[in-house]
Amino acid sequence: QVHLVESGGGVVQPGRSLRLSCAASGFTFSTYTMHWVRQAPGKRLEWVAILSYDGSNKNYADSVKGRFTISRDNSKNTLYLQMNSLRSEDTAVYYCARGGFGDSMYPGGYWGQGTLVTVSS
Amino acid sequence: EIVLTQSPGTLSLSPGERATLSCRASQSVNSTYLAWYQQKPGQAPRLLIYGASSRATAIPDRFSGRGSGTDFTLTISRLEPEDFAVYYCQQYGSSLWTFGQGTKVEIK
């Protein structure tokens, strides 16, 4: 069955960097759009970034644009989120989620368990 | 960017009662691209409804969605103990997702 496992979270100082990974299994990873979504403690879900199945198209929330980079390695069935210039407001649980097949639009039918990122001095 | 506003913020009900949750969009949403999720503490969101009214895999038929344009509704016909959670609406019809702020359904 579909399985998404995030890793790479932890405590980091403001201004530093962190890279999250999302290992996918149970489906043909290279044919699906993937997303990162985050949730600050006690807050709503906030979409972060999208990457098309072949890596050709990506988009970011305004709150992370210019600081975060989404990428994927289809040979390793892994999605990444490189987070630079981290701020305290980036503190959240980060989820990867599977989107649509190919270019189709579909909501998050499958999510990982999340990885906690805490930005604090 | 489409803003989704959910109401009420909290719904206090008893098991067996009917729950009606509202999601209003700042501009018209193609109903094909409106979804609802359930989230319990410490867990990832779980997709309930997509395309405004289609139930996701293995979702009980006590969950139903309807709506079009700017007004959408999620109804839980008879609340079971496991249904007390936070519910989010989402639009996914562009190269970004947006979520409502959530409605908490709590035990009265």
Are B71 and B31 in contact, with CB atoms under 8 Å apart?
no
CB-nearest to B44 from A44, A57, A95 is A95
Task: Tell me the chain B residues in contact with residue A113 when contact means C-beta distances shorter than 8 Å.
Answer: 44
CA atoms within 13 A on the CB side of B78: 3
Residue A30, sorted as left (phi over 0), alpha (psi -120 to 50) or beta, turns out to be alpha
Q: Which pLDDT score, from 0 to 100, does residue B57 have?
A: 92
Sequential DSSP letters for A27-78: S-GGGEEEEEEEE-TTS-EEEEEEE-TTSS-EEE-TTTTTTEEEEEETTTTE
> Distance, in angstroms, between A25 CA and closest chain B CA?
17
Res. A38: pLDDT tops 80: yes
Q: What is the share, in percent, of chain B residues with pLDDT greater than 70? A: 100
Interface test with A, best of B10, B48, B92 (most A CBs within 10 A): B92
Are B93 and B80 in contact, with CB atoms under 8 Å apart?
no
Mean confidence (pLDDT) of chain B = 95
Minimum mean pLDDT range among A96-100, B8-12, B30-34: B30-34
From chain B, which residues contact A within 8 Å (Cβ)? 32-33, 35, 37, 39, 44-47, 50, 56-57, 88, 90, 92-102
Res. B31: pLDDT tops 90: no
Task: Tell me the chain A residues in contact with residue B33 when contact means C-beta distances shorter than 8 Å.
Answer: 105
Distance CA A17, CA B42 (A): 25
Q: Which pLDDT score, from 0 to 100, does residue A106 have?
A: 86
Q: Please, which pLDDT band fits residue A120 given cuts at 50, 70 and 90?
A: very high
> Distance, in angstroms, between A73 CA and closest chain B CA?
20
Cβ separation of B100 and A44 shorter than 8 Å? yes
Query: What is the tens place of the pLDDT at every residue in B45-54?
Result: 999 999 999 9
Query: What is the tens place of the pLDDT at every residue in B52-98?
Result: 999 999 999 999 999 999 999 999 999 999 999 999 999 998 778 99
Burial of B94 (0-12, 13-18, 19+ CB in 10 A): middle
With tokens 């359930």, the residue in question is B38
Task: Tell me the chain B residues in contact with residue A44 when contact means C-beta distances shorter than 8 Å.
Answer: 88, 99-102
